[in-house]
Amino acid sequence: MTQVPPSGSNLRGAVDLSSLVNRSATTEPRGAAAGTSGSPTAPGAAISVPSLVLDGTDANFGEILELSNTVPVLVDLWAEWCEPCKQLTPVIEKLVAEYAGRFVLAKVDVDSNPQLSKAFQAQSIPTVAAVINGQPVQLFNGALPEAQIREVLERVLELAAQQGVTGTAQANEVAPVVEEPVEEPLPPHHLEAYEAIERGDFETARAEYRFALTQNPNDTMAAAGLAQASLLFRLQGKTLDDIRGGAAAAPEDLPAQLLVADLDLSGGHVDDAFDRLLTLFPAQDAAGRNIIRERLLELFEVIGTEDPRVAPTRKRLTALLY
């Protein structure tokens, strides 16, 4: 999947999404305009959609691809346990609303949709891509400031115009009138940690969460935040090739294997991360086993201790310990 090129460049998609199209080939896309058969529609065409923000799944993505013949489709790959995702998605939704139908947003939960996660090569999340006339374009990873995201969207519109995709989407949803929920303010140290994460200062975020835990050892939000900030801190400044290459070159090197487990979990490959660490466990001395145990407990906090994958992993760890 290619990065967004500068304006004036040609659009080239390197990911084969044909299998996702074929899964829905016999199904007429809900709300699709007539004529969306794999080529751009007439300039300025309008298409009816249930909402400008859709849930993309392995089952329905063929229908969403059809929309990309009329209007660019943004794809936001996220997970419930991903803290930066929770910061990024509302910003993208806000911008999609501001562009008033010039984009459709498809939100994809990578934990529930492994085929889409693989198709869009989501090695870390959040990952944001676009699909224009059925062709994927990689946009960016991580939570960017709103101004930078807006610049990316403008380039996507330029690319779409080059491909003849200049239509608009019209949402036929009727939004219910609801009162705005009143959000309780975050505790001071939590707020400082969130702001530090937003600017990429993960060490400060860790320090703030640790301080919150000294004040209240039962602060589950701080414990989860500390685990997430620590994961981001360990991966910061490292490339995918460096991490995987280092682990492949030194299969017995515990720090290298711990780091690739971090990478797997950050990309949504939770079972792979847990299995890697449990497979390493028996060959380690007492110190190495304790390091793996502590890392697993930390990763449990990252994805949430109630996640259904935690209990069987914890059971396997207990069996290895005793």
Q: Which of 85, 125, 129, 261 is catalytic?
A: 85
> What domains can you pick out in the chain, each with its CATH number?
18-171 (3.40.30.10), 188-321 (1.25.40)
Q: Give the span between the Cα atoms of 111 and 79, in whole angstroms.
A: 6
Read off φ and ψ for residue 128, nearest 5 degrees.
Answer: -120, 130
Cβ(276)–Cβ(238) under 8 Å? no
Query: Each residue of 117-158: pLDDT tens digit?
Result: 888 888 889 999 999 998 899 899 888 999 999 999 999 999
Question: What pTM does this model have?
Answer: 0.48
Query: Each residue of 182-222: pLDDT tens digit?
Result: 777 888 899 999 899 999 999 999 999 999 999 999 999 99
Query: Each residue of 68-118: pLDDT tens digit?
Result: 999 999 999 999 999 999 999 999 999 999 999 999 999 999 999 989 988
Q: Which of 33, 71, 75, 82 is catalytic?
A: 82
Q: Give the span between the Cα atoms of 117 and 285, in whole angstroms.
A: 36
DSSP-derived secondary structure letter, 124: S
70, 176, 273, 306 from 302: Cα distances, Å: 39, 34, 12, 11
211 catalytic per annotation: no
Q: Give the span between the Cα atoms of 52 and 81, in whole angstroms.
A: 24
> 168-171 and 127-132 as β-strands: parallel, antiparallel, unpaired?
unpaired
How high does pLDDT run on average in the chain? 84
82 catalytic per annotation: yes
Q: Give the span between the Cα atoms of 52 and 101, in whole angstroms.
A: 7
